[in-house]
Every structure is written in C-alpha cells, then in structure tokens.
Amino acid sequence: MMSRSLCFLFMSLGAGLHLKPVLSGPRLAYRGSQVQFECKVPDWLSPLTFELWKDTEGLIATEHNINVTFDLQVTEGSEGEYSCRVTNGGLSSNTIPFQTVIPVLGARVSADPHPPLLYEGQKLVLRCEVRKGTHLSFSWFHNQQQVNPSSGLYRINADTLTVDSAGERHAGIYSCMAENQVTVNPRFSSSPNIQVIVKKHISQLSASLWVWWDGAALQANISCAVASGSPPLLFTLLLDGRQLEQKHVDALSSSFSVPILMGQDLGSARCRAQTDTRTLLSDPVHLHVVPVGGAVHVMLTYLHDVNAMTEAALLKCVPERGTFPQFSWSVNHSSLPAGGDAHAVSDRGQILILTDINSGYYRCCVRDSFNESSVWLESAEVFVQRTDPALPSMEVIALVFCGFLSMVIVGGSIFMFWNIERKNHTCKQHSNQCVQTDRVIVNAPAADVSPEPQTLEMKAVIMEFEA
C-alpha cells in the first residue's frame, strides 16, 4: 500500500514538470464586480495543484483539483497579466491581460472658445469630458443628429471634435455620449446640450441721407446700415472726423438726426460700424440741402429695336438745382399716375418711361420733397410721337424693280446699237484693209467642200473687224 502511494506521488511530481495548463477568463471587468479564471490541463483526469500568478504580485492563489477556478474581486489594483501553472515547477500557461473598467459617469461638453460664440472662419474645439470612467468611446451629436466623422465638416479624435473654419452650418446644439467599451452590460453617459453660435462678419457699410420737417425745424436723417453681419453692433456718427453720437443696437442698421438749415453746408458725415472683430467706415455724405429752383427741362430719348421700330420713349425731368426734389408728370394737361399699363416711373419719379407711345404733350413738375407747401415748378411741354420709318408696300417694291429692269434693257439696247454704228464707221475709214481681208478670204483654198458654212473663216473676219 505504501509503495502504491509513493508510486502515485512520484508519477504526479514527474508529470507536473511537463504539463502545460491553459488559463481562460475575462479581459475586462467593472470595478467592484467578481470574475473567475479557470485553469486546467487538457485531457488530464487526475487532480493537480494549480497556482494563479500575477505579473506584479507573484503567486496570489492555489487550488487542487482536475480543473480549478480562481475567484477574483475586481479593484483598481486588479489590473495586470495573469497566468497559472502546476506546482512543483510545472510549465506556465498562457497569459491574460486584465483591465479594470471604471463605469462612466458625468459626461459634459467643454468648448474653446468659451462661451462657444465665434465668428465665421474661427476655430472651434469641443471636448467630451467625464467625471469618472475608463475604456471609453465617444459619439457626437449636432442638432440631435449623430455626427459622421467622414463628412468632412468636422475632425473627430477620441473625445475631441474640431472645426477648423466655422461657418453658419456649424451653429446649433451639440452634445456627446461616452460609453464603456465592454461587451457585456455596457454603460454610457450623455452630456447636457451646449449651443454654439457662429456670427457673420459685418460687410458693406453704407450711409444715406434724407431730410424732413418736424414742424419747427428742418432735420437731416443719416441712416447707417451694413449689408450683412450679426448683431449687436456699435454705430457711430462722425461729422468731418468728429464723433457726434453713438448707439449700441441689436440690429444691422441705425439712424441719427441732425438739425440743418436750408442752404447751410455742415460738412461731410460718415457712419462707423464696429463689432468685436471688425470696424467699417462708410463713404461720406454731404450735409448740404439746396432748395429746388431755376429752370426745369425735359430730356426726350426714343428707344428703338434692331429693326428701327420705336419701342419706347424715355423722358427725364432735370431741374436746375435742388437736393431732394419731388416729381410729377402730366400729359395733355392731365396728371399721370405713378404707374400704369402704358408707362412707368423710376429714379424717384424723375424718369418717365412710355412703353406704349400715344402722341401728346408731356410736362414735368418739381418741388422740394420735404416741404408740401412749396410751389411746383413746371417745365415746357414736350411733344412725343411715334417715329417709325415708313415701310414700302410689296406693290411699290415690284414697280420699282420692273422700272429698273426696263431701264437696264433699254440702256443695253442703245449701247449695242451705238457699238455697231461705231464699228461700221471704222470700217469705212480703213477700206483698204477691209478689201485686202476680203481678198484673202476669197482666194483662200477650200478647206472643206461640204455644204456646211465655213465657221472658222467667218470668225477670222469678225476678229479682223474687232482689231
């Protein structure tokens, strides 16, 4: 009996020197959970003593059985590489890297710049931060739609979303979601929303002037406006470089009032618009109001198409002077409305366009637009009529063509008759030459006895006459 036990112990010890166990178990687990590692020798049916080893602590547990299970309470210090082996110097198993996962908690978005208010072209960086959590993956949402990293509108790197050059399309509501990268029982945390505002740069500042009567004095109204941009803006009125007034407005335009006297030159006014990033200055506006006066003239221009047909007539009313004129038109002593089927006005009524020309006498009247009690000044009447060129009828065209053809025929006949008479006269003056030529023809040997005419000899006679 003693010999059998010694033999079994010897066999176990000898086998332990050559057996290689296999370790299986998780690679990730939440902190505070319990995990199990199993160690066994494949195809081994006898109990063995197994040891569980950790790379940073050495031997941490032993178990005796055919297959053994090691229970482990997960803490932050549980991270490391684990292996097992059979006692008495057996071979080590495979290693399992184990990591402790801290459940994610308290996700939020931080922005640079902060607060996330920026102008077009500036850089925006958003980060998804968590109060706790390890082994995380991140997802981003813009206006409740998940951001596609390959869209080209953003650059996403781990917990960071970057916009290199912000535009209006990047404005909106952003949020992020952080999730533990655990296959079983994943946990996540969503951040509160954060609003990103992308503002436009101001551009094209303009200044305009109009005057009005407030019942006691004449007032000049200078209106300042930008073509595009994002409020708020700071508008400043400058007069010959001196600051007169400033206004902070939540709009793209503002206006200023300045008392003014008729005929007095106050100088040049400018508008200035400012934001955090840009300052614009308008072109100058001359503060000099001249009343309407002097002679009034009407300039008439006819407009024709490619066929020289009159398409329209353009009448322009030109007073000798006046800064803010008001215009009125009449035809045949009847007032014309501002618009109609056959006419239209433009340039604040200064230009009258007649699209359907009816002959008549036209006149314009002008006065100061800011003074309803001012006197209308009238121009002389201008007669307007359609001036289309008279087009010939088909009968006239046919008659002219026939007359021209008859003249060609008669002229050609006269020329031929004159030419024949001239040739006969020339022949009489040179009778010897003609007789000699006839002799040559008569005495010439016959080239052909056929009854056909001698065409070649006749040609010779004709050529002699032409010479």
pLDDT at 103: 94
Structure tokens of 20?
Answer: 């290689």
- Tell whether the model's pLDDT for residue 52 goes beyond 50: yes
How many alpha carbons fall within 13 Å on the CB side of residue 93?
26
- Supply 359's token pair: 């002959």
Residue 175: its H or E element: strand 172-180
Q: Report whether pLDDT(121) > 80.
A: yes
Residue percentage of the chain with pLDDT more than 70: 81
pLDDT at 454 over 70: no
pLDDT higher than 80, residue 29: yes
The two tokens of residue 109 are 């978005």
Q: Sorting pLDDT into bands at 50, 70 and 90, what band is 441?
A: very low
pLDDT of residue 397: 59
Cα-based distances in Å from 318 to 155, 312, 344, 366: 62, 20, 17, 9
Lowest mean pLDDT among 164-173, 179-188, 399-408, 418-427: 418-427
Please give the Cα distance from 289 to 367 (Å, whole number).
Answer: 13
Give residue 385's pLDDT band: very low, low, confident or very high (50, 70, 90).
confident
Angstrom CA distances, 51 to 16, 18, 60, 264, stand at 12, 15, 8, 107
Give the Cα separation of 334 and 74 in Å (integer).
Answer: 102
CA 123 to CA 141: how far, in whole Å? Answer: 18
pLDDT of residue 173: 97
Residue 461 has pLDDT above 80, yes or no: no
Q: What is the pLDDT of residue 417?
A: 64
Torsion angle, CA of 442/447/452/453, rounded to 10 degrees?
A: -30
pLDDT: which is higher, 339 or 315: 315
At residue 405, does pLDDT exceed 80? Answer: no
For the record, the structure tokens of 294 come out as: 């002097």
pLDDT grade for 341, boundaries at 50, 70 and 90: confident
Average pLDDT over residues 343-352: 89
Task: Look at residue 467 and tell me whether its pLDDT is greater than 70.
Answer: no
Residue 165 Cα to chain centre, angstroms = 16
Q: Which 8-state DSSP code applies to residue 391?
A: P
Mean per-residue pLDDT over the chain, rounded: 83
pLDDT of residue 425: 52
Contact between 61 and 52 under an 8 Å Cβ cutoff? The reply is: yes
> Exposed e or buried b for every residue in 52-80, given b needs 16+ CB within 10 A?
bbbeeeeeebebeeeebebebebeeebbb
Whose tokens are 């006005």? That residue is: 345
Contact at 8 Å (CB) between 281 and 272? yes
pTM of this prediction?
Answer: 0.59
Strand 117-119 relative to strand 194-199, pairing: parallel
pLDDT per residue as tens digits for the range 91-104: 899 999 999 999 99
From 460, 218, 435, 395, select the one nearest 323 (Cα to Cα).
218
Question: For the chain, what is the largest distance between any 2 Cα atoms, rounded to a whole number of angstroms?
Answer: 178
3-class SS at 180? strand
CA–centroid distance for 69 within its chain: 68
| Unique residue bearing structure tokens 């200055």 | 281
More confident residue, 415 or 138: 138
Cα separation of 425 and 448, whole Å?
A: 33
Tell me the average pLDDT across 403-408.
71
pLDDT at 11 (0 to 100):
46
* Residue 387: per-residue pLDDT: 66
Which pLDDT belongs to residue 339? 74
pLDDT digits (tens, 9 = 90+) for 15-25: 445 789 999 99
The mean pLDDT of 359-365, rounded to a whole number, is 92
Non-local (6+) Cβ contacts of 294 within 8 A are: 319, 320, 321, 377
User: What is the pairing mode between strands 334-335 and 325-331?
Assistant: antiparallel
Greater model confidence, 174 or 458: 174
Host H or E run for residue 244: strand 242-249
Q: For 225-249, how does the pLDDT look when each residue is reduced to its tens digit (9 = 90+)?
A: 999 999 999 999 999 999 999 999 9
Residue 247, strand partner residues: 235
